A = this chain, B = another copy of it.
Amino acid sequence: MVKVGIVGASGYTGIELVKIFARHPQVEITFATSDSYVGKQLSDAFPCAYDIPLIAHEAAPLAEADVVFLALPHGASADFAKRALDAGASVIDLSADFRLHDAAVYEKFYGLKHHVPELLPQAVYGLPELHREQIKNSKLIANPGCYPTGVILGLAPIVRAGANDGTIIVDSKSGVSGAGRKPSLTTHFVEVYDNFAPYNIGRVHRHLSEMEQELREIRENATLIFSPHLLPVNRGILSTMYVKLSDGWDEQALRELYADTYRGEPFVRILPSGQIASLAHSVYTNYCVISIHAVPDVGQAIICASIDNLVKGASGQAVQNMNLMFGCSETTALL
């Protein structure tokens, strides 16, 4: 049995981890922490059936866990990761604190000095489709952001093949759970319902840094415009991506490229011609569903990628990483 600890169980990624663990035959929850529900049960924090006691973050018996999942805001995670590693546990961090290799980029996008930059070199960006072998051998996983997961998986083949020419346009639409559980006017029901709103469009959203880091590791000039929008639904991200193609690429060639790239991947699904990825393809699953559409008149292609931001975009991918790290079958509890 893998003994897991959850730090920050009363947020949306925390409860999602618990739901997945309930179906995982090789996992035992050792502790779960919360800042706002200390001394209560998880069933007090959410309308759910999980009677798991919630203890204070500081009271977490880190040494008793094989792996600690950090579902904390960025900034708070970094210190906790160090404590958990020092206590001998592996760490899967769902915050942004270890995603960027370069502390200066982190500081620029997050407006924070990194607390433990000395740990950055050992952190692995936990996208199994790109870094599976490193993940297996790592003790510190930076679980990818929700937007980057779909965007990187959707664009990696095209970037690797050099099939793109110029700036790629990423128009993304996300459900509200991606914004976390802290109340604000932005997430007030009345402001979101019946509405649809772009925000942080252009080249300013924090997740742009992750996308370009990973894509530039593949090919250095990859450049994006990234425009997130808030969708009036709870879960799911759909990214519609516009790529000017370099010479010689058509839909058939793209289809072969994607099929080759993701052959055997358990959680990437390429739709057949005639189908377009929608939120419904991925929500409540760990799949990233991708569709490919050439626009021959104008030499472009449209790539649509759909994920559930709480599953493949957060907790599902975190468990996928744990499965890899602890020798479980990669798909356990995720199908």
- A residues with a Cβ closer than 8 A to B are 12, 22-23, 46-49, 167, 169, 171, 173, 176-177, 181, 183-185, 187-199, 201-203, 223, 225, 227, 229, 231-236, 238, 240, 242, 269, 276-281, 283-285, 287, 289, 293, 295, 297-298, 300, 302, 304, 335
**Chain B: minimal CB distance from A45 (Å):** 10
Is there contact, CB below 8 Å, between A176 and B189? yes
Q: Of all chain B residues, which has the CB nearest A277?
A: B198
As for how many copies of this chain the complex holds, the number is 4
Which residues of chain B have C-beta atoms less than 8 A from A287's C-beta? 49
Is there contact, CB below 8 Å, between B269 and A234? no
CA distance A225 to B174 in the complex (A): 22
Which residues of chain B have C-beta atoms less than 8 A from A198's C-beta? 238, 240, 276-278, 304
Is there contact, CB below 8 Å, between B240 and A227? yes
16 contacts between A and B (CB under 8 A): A46-B280, A47-B281, A48-B281, A49-B287, A171-B171, A176-B190, A187-B189, A187-B190, A189-B193, A189-B234, A190-B234, A198-B276, A225-B302, A229-B238, A231-B232, A232-B232
- 9 closest cross-chain pairs (CB), A and B: A197-B278, A183-B183, A47-B280, A47-B281, A202-B295, A171-B171, A195-B280, A176-B189, A189-B192
Which residues of chain B have C-beta atoms less than 8 A from A289's C-beta? 49
A177-B190, A181-B188 are known contacts. Are A225 and B238 too (CB-CB below 8 A)?
Answer: no
Which residues of chain B have C-beta atoms less than 8 A from A297's C-beta? 203
Which residues of chain B have C-beta atoms less than 8 A from A199's C-beta? 276
Which residues of chain B have C-beta atoms less than 8 A from A193's C-beta? 176, 189, 193, 232-234
CA distance A57 to B59 in the complex (A): 46
CA distance A165 to B80 in the complex (A): 49
Which residues of chain B have C-beta atoms less than 8 A from A184's C-beta? 183
Q: Of all chain B residues, which has the CB nearest A231?
A: B196
Is there contact, CB below 8 Å, between B240 and A195? no
CA distance A49 to B283 in the complex (A): 11
Which residues of chain B have C-beta atoms less than 8 A from A285's C-beta? 49
Is there contact, CB below 8 Å, between A295 and B238? no
Which residues of chain B have C-beta atoms less than 8 A from A280's C-beta? 46-47, 191, 194-195, 197
Is there contact, CB below 8 Å, between A181 and B185? yes
Q: Which of B187, B281, B298 meets A225, CB within 8 Å?
A: B298
Q: Which of B189, B236, B269 meets A189, CB within 8 Å?
A: B189
Which residues of chain B have C-beta atoms less than 8 A from A281's C-beta? 47-49
Which residues of chain B have C-beta atoms less than 8 A from A284's C-beta? 284
Is there contact, CB below 8 Å, between A203 and B169? no
